[in-house]
């Protein structure tokens, strides 16, 4: 079945440093979604990427969909304490099934 892996599992950064999480699928995806879950909270939708090679930006966040539509990345520039949380990718593959990645937990230290 479809598998979606994320690396790293954990990341500690100093405030102001950059952060990147990578998402890799075992199968080609029709689209990929990204979610953020704050500690003790629930996942909140951030963005959806559909096109091969697509790049989208939301303020300090940059999302990229790979050319082969099997991988994606989320990059945060100059992290802030408000960025703390777990970031999940979710890929839609064959059969319209949405599979969540394992998540990357980000901690930001002052």
Residues in touch with another protein (CB under 8 A):
1, 4, 6, 9, 33, 35, 41-45, 48, 88, 90, 92, 96-98, 100-103
Between 28 and 77, CB nearer to another protein = 28
3-class DSSP assignment, residue 96: helix
Classify residue 81 by its DSSP letter: G
- Closest approach of Cβ 19 to another protein, in Å? 19
- Closest approach of Cβ 9 to another protein, in Å? 7
User: Please, what is the Cα angle at 10 between 91 and 23, to 5 degrees?
Assistant: 20
User: Is residue 39 a contact partner of residue 84, using CB atoms and an 8 Å limit?
Assistant: yes
């Amino acid at each position: 079945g479809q598998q979606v892996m994320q690396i790293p599992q954990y990341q500690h950064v100093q405030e102001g440093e950059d952060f990147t999480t990578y998402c890799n699928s075992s199968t080609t995806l029709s689209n990929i979604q990204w979610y953020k879950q704050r500690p003790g909270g629930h996942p909140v939708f951030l963005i959806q990427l559909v096109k091969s090679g697509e790049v989208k930006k939301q303020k300090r966040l940059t999302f990229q969909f790979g050319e082969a539509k099997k991988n994606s990345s989320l990059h945060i520039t100059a992290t802030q304490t408000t960025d703390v949380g777990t970031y999940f990718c979710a890929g839609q593959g064959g059969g319209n099934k949405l599979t969540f990645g394992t998540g990357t937990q980000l901690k930001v230290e002052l």
